[in-house]
Amino acid sequence: MESGERRKKGREERSEELILQPQWRRQNPKPPSPSPSSEVSLQPEWRRRGSNSTATTTFAYPWNQNYTSNLNPYRNNSISSFQNDSALPNIETLHISKQLPTSFLAPQKKDRVSPIPRPDNGGTSAILTTRLRVNHFHVNFNPDTTIMHYNVAVKPMFSSKRGRPQQLSKSDLIMIREKLFSDDPLRLPLEMTAHDGAKNIYSAVRLPQETFTVDISEGEDEKSGSYNVTITLVNTLKLRKLIDYLSGQGISIPRDILQGMDVVMKENPARCTISMGRHFYPMDPPLVMKDLHHGIIAVGGFHHSLKPTSQGLSLCVDYSVLAFRKRMSVLNFLHEHIDGFNLNEFDSFRKRVDEALIGLKVNVTHRKSSRKYIIGRLTPVNTRYVTFPNDNAKGWILSKDVSLLSFFRDKYGKDIVHKDIPCLDLGKGKKKNYVPMEFCILVDDQRYPKERLDGFAGKTLKAMSLAHPNERESAIQKMVQSSDGPCGGGVIHNFGMSVNKNMTSIVGRVIGPPELKLGDPTGKTIKITVDMEKCNWNLVGRSMVEGKPVERWGILDFTSFGSYRCKLKVNEFIQNLIGKYKKFGIDMREPIWYEESSMQILASNDSLSDLLQKINNICKYNQGPLQFLLCVMSKRSPGYKNLKWISETKVGIVTQCCLSNSANEGDDLFFTNLALKINAKLGGSNVELSNRLPYFEGEGYVMFVGADVNHPGSRDTRSPSIVAVVATVNWPAANRYAARVCPQYNRCEKILNFGEICLELVACYRRKNGVRPEKIVVFRDGVSEYEFDMVLNEELLDLKIAFERSNYFPTITVIVAQKRHQTRFFPEGWRDGSSSGNILPGTVVDTKVIHPFEFDFYLCSYYGSLGTSKPTHYHVLWDEHKFTSDELQKLIYEMCFTFARCTKPVSLVPPVYYADLAAYRGRLYHEARNGTLKSAAYSAPKGSSSVSPTASFEQGFYRLHADLENIMFFI
C-alpha cells in the first residue's frame, strides 16, 4: 500500500513539474501560425538545450556533473484539450511529400540534444538471477599513449594509355604500403603502424611527412608499377580523452580515437586472414572448417569491434561462417565440382565448365608471380591449336603467330600435358593472356554464394551458422587466443594496448512472464500462465480473445492447371480449415467464391489485376465484399510480390497465401497458424495481457509507434529505400496496428516527413478511440550509434513540429531497438540457462557491458531452440515519461507476448517487428512496380522516351488502398 502511494505521489510530482508552457505559449494562448520565415524561431523550449527555462530538468550523471535534458512541457495537458481537430483539416487525406527541407529540420549545433542519461543504477526486479559470460573482452590501454593519424595519398607516376586515373584496389594499396615500409624499415617501422586498407595509417611513432617513390612488381614477366606515396599527419589522438569519456568527464564520444584503435585491433587479422567486409576468416590453418564437397568448404571466422562500456573499453568478438572455394588446381576443382566430369569428354561438359569457372580468380604456377588473374573465358579451340601474335611474345622476333605449346616449352621449359582441352584466357579487355588449365590454381579468398549451395551443403552451412551456445563460445575463445586473431602478432602491444582473454562475467536478471488472456470455444475469456523456460502456450481447447466470424471469403487456386501432385485438394482443405475454426468456437461459412487459375498468371500484372478486380467486383455486388481471398500456390513464386502489390494498393482486397503441399498435408499446426493470421488481418485479437501494460495502468490513452527503413542491396544505387511506420490503434490492449508505407531516396536512413506520417496515424487512432493519445512511445529500428543524433535532432524534431502545428502536445519517448550487434550471452552452468543451453527468456543485462552512462540494456525475450540466442539491444534516446529501468524493461518484455501470428514471445518488440514486415512489403511493391516499368519500357516503340528512374518514387504506387491501410494486412 505504501509503495503504491509513493508511486502515485511520484507521478503527481512529475505532473506538476511538466505542466509548464514554453514562453511563446504563455504569452499567446493560441499559438501563432508559423510562416516559412518564422518556422525555426517558434521552436519549443525542449529544443533550447542551453536556455535557463524552467521547462528543463537537470539530471546528475554518476560523476556528479550536471546534464540538462529537456522534457516536453505539455506532459499533463488534459486529453480534452486536444479533442478538437479543427487544426487538422482533412488529416485523413494528408499527402506525404517526397522531401522536407533539410534546413528546416536541422537545429543549430549549440541546440542539439544528446541521448538521455540512465535514470538509475539499473533494474532490480527479477524472479531469479543467472550467472552469464558475455563475449566482451576487457581492453587495457595506457592513457598517456598518443596515436598519430596519417593520410596516405597514392598516385601512379604514369597514367594509363587512355589518360584515365588508375583505380587502385584495396589489395593494391596494401601491397604498396608493405613495399614502402620494407624499403625503409628504420623510418617506417611496419610493426608500429596499422593500415585501414584505404588512405589512413595509424602509428605509435612519428613517421616522416614526405613523398616517396615505390616500385611494385607482381612477379616474373609482370610490368612494374611506380607510385608516388605522400604521407601527411592528419591528427594526434590522445587516449586520455577516451579515459575522460569512459569516466564520465566528457559528453561527446571520441569517435576518431575509437576508429584509430579499431584499425589497430584489425591490423593483425588483416595481415593473416582473409577479410570479407568486417569479417575475418583464418585459412592457414582454418580454426573451424567443414568440407561441403564439390570444391567448397565452410570456414568459421570472426568479426570484432571496440565498445565503450561501463566496465571500460571492451573488445566484442563474435563468430561467423562463410562458404569458400577451396585452394586447388583448376582441373581438380572441375573433377570435384562437376559430377561425372571427364577430361576425355570435355566438349560434353563445356557449358558447365563455363558456368563453374568464368569470373573466378586464379594464380599461375608456370612462373613466379603473386598476381591474381580473373578467368575471362575459355578459348574456342583446344590448347594444341592455340596461337597468338608474335608481338605478345616478348623478346621474340618471328614472322608468324606463336604456338602456345612451343612458347611454354621454349620460354618456361614446360611441356603442356592436356593438349586437347581449351585454355583459359586471363587477359583484360582486348588483351589476350592464354594459360593452360593445368598451370592455374584457384585462390582461396573467393566466397561461394550460399544461394547456389545444394541441399547437403546448405544444411551444413546453416548448422554451422546456428552453432550451439557451447560451440559458439568455444569458437570465439579460439579466435581471441589465436595468433591470427585481433590479439595476436604483437601489434596492439606496440600501441600500449592489451586484452584480457577471458570473457566478461556478469549477473543477469530474469523477469517473470506476464499472465495472458485467451478465449475458449464457448466465448468466455480465460487466463493462463506460461512456463518460465519456454514461455509458449497452445490453443488446444482454447481460442483467440476475439475471433472474427468469417462469412464471405473466397479461394483463388493457382494450382488448378499445374502438376497433379501439386494440386490443391479443395474439398478436404475447406473442411479442415472450417473444422479448425469450429474448434476455436468461431463461425466460418463455406467460401462464396472459388476461382481456378494457373501459376503462370502471377507473372502478368495486367492479367492478375483483371482477375482480382473481377473477383472483387462480382462478390461485392452480389453477396458483399470479401473479407479475405485465400490464394493457394504450388510453390514459392516471384509473382507473390505482384499479387500483394495489386491486391493491397489497387484492388483493396485482403489476401492470405499458402502452399498446396502444406494445405494438403492437413497438419494441425499449419491450420492454427493460418487461422491466427487470418483473424489478425480481419481485425480480431489473438492474445492479450491479462493486466494492463506496465507503467501505463490506469492512465490516459497511449499509442506505440514502430518505424523502420528497408534499403535496397548495396550495389543498387537507383531503387528507393522504403519507409514503414506502424502504430497501435486500440487501447488498452494495444495489439492492433495501422501502417503507412512510402518510398524515399536511395539508402536514406532518415525518415522524411516522419511527423506527417505519425500525424496521419494519430488521426486513425482518434477515429478508432474518439480521442488522440496523450502519450506516444516510438520504437525506431535499424539505426546505429552513429545515427542516434539524426533520430534525436531531425526525426524527433520533425515529429514535434508537426504536432505543435496541429495544437497537439503529447509526451513522447523514443527508443532504438537494435538486432544487428555482436553481443552474445552464455550461461556459466546448466542451472543458469534453458534446456537448449541458451539464456532464459526474460533475461535482462544492464550492467558492465552497457553504455557508460546512457540509458540502454539488453533483453532476450524469446526461447532460443536453435543456435545461440541473440538479445535485442534497447537504447533510450528521449524520455518524457520518466521510465525507470524496471518499468521500461517489464513493459517491453510483456509487449513481446502480444505478437499476433505465433503462440510465444518474439525476440523483438512488436511495433518494430511489424514495421519491419511492412517495410519489406513495400520492397515487394517496388519490385513488382519496377517489373511493370521495365516491361513497359521494353515494349515501348522505338524513339519513345525510356522510363524515368524517378517514376518508381511516385507515392501513388505505394499508397495502400483505403480499405486496407488501417488493418494488419502485413501479417
The amino acid that residue 74 corresponds to is Y
Give the pLDDT of residue 654.
Answer: 97
The stretch 79-100 carries a mean pLDDT of: 36
Cβ neighbours of residue 778 closer than 8 Å, sequence gap 6 or more: 705, 706, 707, 758, 796, 799, 812, 813, 814, 815
Listed ranges 34-38, 386-390, 831-835; the one with the highest mean pLDDT:
831-835
Question: For the packed helices 754-769 and 796-805, what is the interaxial angle rounded to 10 degrees?
Answer: 50
Question: Residue 63 pLDDT more than 50?
Answer: no
Per the domain annotation, does 64 fall within a domain?
no
Per the domain annotation, does 178 fall within a domain?
yes
Helix (H) / strand (E) containing 826: strand 825-827
Domain boundary among 682, 706, 728: 682
Q: Which residues of 251-269 are buried (b: 16+ CB within 10 A; e: fewer)?
A: eebbeebbbbbbbbbbbbb
Please give the share of the chain, as a percent, with pLDDT higher than 70. Answer: 84
Q: What is the 3-state secondary structure (H, E, C) of 282-344?
A: CCCCCCEEEEEECCEEEEEEEEEEEEEECCEEEEEEEEEEEEEECCCEHHHHHHHHCCCCCHH
Least confident stretch, 158-162, 175-179, 509-513, 887-891: 158-162
Per the domain annotation, does 732 fall within a domain?
yes
Give the pLDDT of residue 65.
Answer: 33
Question: Residue 545 pLDDT more than 80?
Answer: yes
Give the pLDDT of residue 21.
Answer: 36
Per the domain annotation, does 932 fall within a domain?
yes
Domain match, 813 and 886 both = yes
Per the domain annotation, does 109 fall within a domain?
no
Domain boundary among 650, 682, 714: 682
**pLDDT digits 0-9 by tens, 505-541:** 999 999 999 999 999 999 899 999 999 999 999 999 9
Cα(427)–Cα(432) distance, integer angstroms: 5
Domain match, 773 and 905 both = yes
Least confident stretch, 2-16, 374-388, 458-472, 864-878: 2-16
CATH of the domain at 931: 3.30.420.10
Domain match, 720 and 844 both = yes
Question: Residue 40 pLDDT more than 80?
Answer: no
Least confident stretch, 701-715, 917-931, 953-967: 953-967
Least confident stretch, 554-563, 787-796, 850-859, 955-964: 955-964
Sign, CA dihedral 934-940-943-944, equals negative
320, 300 Cβ separation under 8 angstroms = yes
- ∠ CA 839-843-846, nearest 5°, is 125
Domain match, 786 and 900 both = yes
Helix (H, G, I), strand (E, B) or coil at 124: coil
Per the domain annotation, does 281 fall within a domain?
yes
Strands 434-435 and 737-744, how do they pair? unpaired
Domain match, 882 and 768 both = yes
- For residues 95 and 969, the model is more confident at 969
Domain match, 814 and 901 both = yes
What's the grid cell of residue 430?
582486348
Q: What are phi and psi of 632, to 5 degrees?
A: -105, 125
502, 137 Cβ separation under 8 angstroms = yes
Cβ neighbours of residue 897 closer than 8 Å, sequence gap 6 or more: 513, 514, 516, 535, 687, 689, 905
67, 251 Cβ separation under 8 angstroms = yes
The residue written with cell numbers 464471405 in the block is 552
Cα(768)–Cα(774) distance, integer angstroms: 15
Cα(469)–Cα(829) distance, integer angstroms: 12
Domain match, 817 and 764 both = yes
Domain of residue 718, residue span: 698-936
The amino acid that residue 883 corresponds to is F
pLDDT band at residue 109, thresholds of 50, 70 and 90? low
Per the domain annotation, does 592 fall within a domain?
yes
Give the pLDDT of residue 593.
Answer: 97
**pLDDT digits 0-9 by tens, 894-943:** 999 999 999 999 999 999 999 999 999 999 999 998 876 665 554 444 44
CATH of the domain at 636: 3.40.50.2300
Per the domain annotation, does 633 fall within a domain?
yes
Give the pLDDT of residue 739.
Answer: 97
Give the pLDDT of residue 52.
Answer: 35
Helix (H, G, I), strand (E, B) or coil at 962: coil
Give the total number of structural domains in the chain: 4
Give the pLDDT of residue 159.
Answer: 66
Domain match, 646 and 715 both = no
Domain match, 757 and 612 both = no
Cα(735)–Cα(758) distance, integer angstroms: 17
891, 867 Cβ separation under 8 angstroms = no
Count Cβ atoms within 10 A of the Cβ of residue 852 and give its class: 0-12 exposed, 13-18 middle, 19 or more buried: buried
Cα(154)–Cα(234) distance, integer angstroms: 16
Give the pLDDT of residue 699.
Answer: 73
The residue written with cell numbers 490513452 in the block is 701
Give the pLDDT of residue 817.
Answer: 98
Give the pLDDT of residue 254.
Answer: 94
Domain match, 744 and 880 both = yes
The stretch 344-364 carries a mean pLDDT of: 95
91, 882 Cβ separation under 8 angstroms = no
Please give the share of the chain, as a percent, with pLDDT higher than 90. Answer: 76
Q: What is the CA radius of gyration of the chain?
A: 32
Domain match, 613 and 661 both = yes
Domain match, 806 and 821 both = yes
Cβ neighbours of residue 465 closer than 8 Å, sequence gap 6 or more: 320, 321, 867
Helix (H, G, I), strand (E, B) or coil at 658: strand
- For residues 50 and 283, the model is more confident at 283
Cα(77)–Cα(6) distance, integer angstroms: 22
**pLDDT digits 0-9 by tens, 428-454:** 877 889 999 999 999 989 999 999 999
Give the pLDDT of residue 10.
Answer: 46
Cα(413)–Cα(817) distance, integer angstroms: 64
Render 159-222 in DSSP notation, one character per residue.
--TTSPPPPPPHHHHHHHHHHHHHHSTTTS-GGGEEE-SSSEEEESS----SEEEEEEE-BTTP
**pLDDT digits 0-9 by tens, 361-406:** 999 999 888 889 999 999 999 999 999 876 544 444 445 688 999 9
The amino acid that residue 855 corresponds to is F
- For residues 632 and 955, the model is more confident at 632
CATH of the domain at 407: 2.170.260.10
The stretch 633-652 carries a mean pLDDT of: 96
Least confident stretch, 162-171, 633-642, 676-685, 940-949: 940-949
